[in-house]
Structure 1
Amino acid sequence: MTREKPHQVAVLRGLQFTGNAMFSLLVVCMPLYFAELGFSRLEIGSVYAMGPLMATVSNLLLGLVADKAKSIRLLLGILFLCQIAVFLALAPLRQFAAIAALMGAFYFFQAPAPPMVDSLSLLASDRLGRSFASIRVFASIGFALCAVLYGYLYAEFGSPVVVPAGCLTAAAALAFVPFLGNFQANLRRFDFSELWGILKQRKTVLFFVLVWLVSVPHRVNESFLSLRMQEIGGQGLVGWLWLIASASEIPVMLLLARFGHRLKELPLLSAAAFFYMVRMLLTSVSDSPWAILAISLLHSVTFGIFYVTSMRFMTHLLPDQFRATGQALFVTVWVGLGGLFTGPMAGWLYDTFGAAAPFLLGAGTSLTAAIGFLYAHVRGYS
């Protein structure tokens, strides 16, 4: 494995990069694509909720299969091929019901891929002598660079750019899969009763409830920040918005890679949730594209801290043989359950009470989570 170390680190970083390049397309271009088709804010929110509904099923199902059969590499190849097929099917569609159903299928194949790559990255980080954050940071780089690229392409060419961009991004990810090492080969046997015993513990349940609360402001940003920028005259800055946000993660993740082990996870998670509240409140009262660009720098101390620290905490909750299942559960809560609630609710609030309402919802749930993480720390769940 020593001889393969540089090669495997590069492959994992490439998968992190391309996986979040796809995510940037979904966040930067798809809300504008749906708006161009004439969808209301509620319909856009519902489309984004259809995806997490399917993602909830696929993450749990494929996470269990990946751990039980030790087959992450094979599953990743199948998922990327299916993503290409779904984008090709999306091209001629214009009706809301058909697009919502197809986006559900897309999320079924897209949502499990990033947690599987994270699972391999966590397993590999120990064996290759690299920190998880030093590999995961390439996801932030991929999102940042491709947010600008896709934002520019959409501003120049409009909706016709979406399908080719999606197909090429999935194909680029697929190209890395044959070179992946088998990091699951020497893991202990999967035992469902052992997994269930861990999942029903009070600290595990509380952790996932708090993750769901923090997912609300994150999903509000993903679903409606591009639309908000468009409404206040900042459509040309949408790509830069996501570039600034993602680029701001990078130094924070590198600092956590070097010094994060010195800090306890639960207080860090509480701080990240608190900064989510600040970010949501500031966004709710801002009507300038430049102000929202400045606020996006808080992405560094919200998602940048929250995601990496959550992954660290997960390694204490679940042993290595349950790594893919644990990642699947995290993403099910973070993307699936968070999206199911936030998409329709935030869309209805946006249509009914105006642009500030969904961001105020996110502020309330993140404040609750900040208090909850502090409570867990005081109770000794660290």
Structure 2
Amino acid sequence: MQLPASSRPDQNWLRAFMFTIFGTTALVISYFPLYYKEIGFSSAQIGYLYAVGPLISMFSNMIWSYTSDKYRTIKRIMNILIIGQLVTMLVLWQVSSFGVVLITISLFYFFYYPVYPLADTMAIQTAQRYGRSFTVIRVFGSLGYAFFALAIGYAVGAAGASATLAIGIGIGVFTLLCSFLLRDGVATKSEPVELSALLKILRSKEILWFFGCSFCLAIAHRMNEAFLTLTLSGLGAGEGLIGWSLMISAASEIPIFFLLSKYGDKMKELPLLGFASLMFALRFLLMSLASDPLSVLAVQSLHSITFGVFYVTAVRYITRIIPWQYRATGMALFIIFWSSASGLLSGAFGGLLFEAAGRTAFYLLAAFLAFVAFVGFLYRHLFAKPEDMNISGISA
């Protein structure tokens, strides 16, 4: 029997936490590049600053998530991570030379990236505790991203890009307060978390195939993410219009999340992942053809059937194929492929490609990579052998 909403404040505080951490995401992904441009960095330098975060997070995600699984606490780890973000943003606010900014932002990313797989893991646990779908909690992240993307756009338009970090610190303070009010992950009498068992999981064909296809798609997604605001700025869009673009993409996820929470379990994951990848390819093809900011705004509405479908389905897939005692680590591995390694490549080489070949070639490459992911997921769905679908004999 489910508890009434009034008797489950932990779920409500988690929703508030999701709302605010995705406000930080909107700031970091979409407005940090404008801040870097404001203090005089080139597109290539901005690409390097974007790339260093994923490089750092390849290690920090695993360190913090494995620690969370080992010591069976998510809340305390997230408290530490949010405090670390606040301290490094305060330092970043005071510096402007490229070398110092590079070092400081590296420290910031060490605390920034691991929050998201841990928050998703806590959302999965909380949803299971109340017999709800993960998406009814995760949707508040989309609401937060939509709200803050628009609000920050107008705030930056009024105060200038130099106010970006002050806004980030304000969001971070509220996020920290929410993090102290969260209920920690469920303590269980599970088997001990062992590195050898984790490595056995990673060698399974199912995991390798999923991460390989996700990685191709992620490179394309991160290319767009890193240079969307610069694309809009280059087409003559102001900060307010940039905020609307980000709000449209985030808000478009919300109905998809609710539809998938109601009907998603009735559909197989691999065909859904393939469909999302094909729609990503179409989205980036249209981005290569867009010639004005309003066209980009229209293309952004496809975010619902690209990222919205892919992310929810991927999380469901991970929770099915990875044993539950390794769930935080499994989510961290997904984030490493989806965000870290792909962000490293797209940031390091995307900036150079964007400068040298132009926006059209940049987005055509993204469309091709998304199409490769579509072919991979479709092939896996049609031709995988039943024995390959077992995670090396480790039961969930």
CA distance in structure 1 between the partners assigned to 2:366 and 2:265 by the alignment: 29
Task: Name which of 227, 232, 238 aligns with 1:224.
Answer: 227
Q: How does 1:58-73 map to 2 (within 5 A)?
A: 58-73=60-75
What TM-score does the superposition give when structure 1 sets the normalisation length?
Answer: 0.97
Q: How does 1:320-335 map to 2 (within 5 A)?
A: 320-335=324-339
The Cα of 1:35 is off from its aligned counterpart by 1.0
Partner of 1:302: helix, strand, or coil?
A: helix
Would you say 1:303 and 2:307 are equivalent positions? yes
Task: Name which of 105, 115, 118 aligns with 2:117.
Answer: 115
CA distance in structure 2 between the partners assigned to 1:39 and 1:364 by the alignment: 29
Partner of 1:279: helix, strand, or coil?
A: helix
Structure 2 residue aligned with 1:207: 210
Partner of 1:287: helix, strand, or coil?
A: coil
The Cα of 1:184 is off from its aligned counterpart by 3.0
Would you say 1:250 and 2:254 are equivalent positions? yes
Q: How does 1:150-299 map to 2 (within 5 A)?
A: 150-186=152-188, 188-189=190-191, 190-235=193-238, 236-299=240-303
| Structure 1 residues 327-354: Cα deviation after superposition (integer angstroms, max 9, x where no partner) | 1111111111001111121111111011
Runs of 4+ in 1 over 6 A off after TM superposition: none
Partner of 2:291: helix, strand, or coil?
A: coil
CA distance in structure 2 between the partners assigned to 1:278 and 1:339 by the alignment: 21
| Structure 1 residues 142-188: Cα deviation after superposition (integer angstroms, max 9, x where no partner) | 00000001111111111232122111111111112222223330151
CA distance in structure 2 between the partners assigned to 1:58 and 1:345 by the alignment: 22
Point out the more displaced range, 215-224 or 75-84: 215-224
CA distance in structure 2 between the partners assigned to 1:209 and 1:34 by the alignment: 32
Contact residue 35 and residue 162 of structure 2 kept, 8 A? no
Q: Which amino acid aligns with 1:334?
A: W
* Number of residue pairs aligned between Structure 1 and Structure 2: 382
| Structure 1 residues 58-79: Cα deviation after superposition (integer angstroms, max 9, x where no partner) | 0011111000111211110011
CA distance in structure 2 between the partners assigned to 1:144 and 1:278 by the alignment: 23
Structure 1 residue aligned with 2:34: 32
Gaps of 5+ in 2: 390-396
Q: Which amino acid aligns with 1:223?
A: A
CA distance in structure 1 between the partners assigned to 2:3 and 2:258 by the alignment: 23
Structure 1 residue aligned with 2:356: 352
The Cα of 1:310 is off from its aligned counterpart by 0.2
Contact residue 42 and residue 347 of structure 1 kept, 8 A? yes
What TM-score does the superposition give when structure 2 sets the normalisation length?
Answer: 0.94
Gaps of 5+ in 1: none
Q: Which amino acid aligns with 1:138?
A: F
Q: How does 1:16-55 map to 2 (within 5 A)?
A: 16-55=18-57
Partner of 1:347: helix, strand, or coil?
A: helix
Q: Which amino acid aligns with 1:33?
A: Y
Point out the more displaced range, 69-78 or 241-250: 69-78
| Structure 1 residues 84-122: Cα deviation after superposition (integer angstroms, max 9, x where no partner) | 101110112111121122111111101000110100111
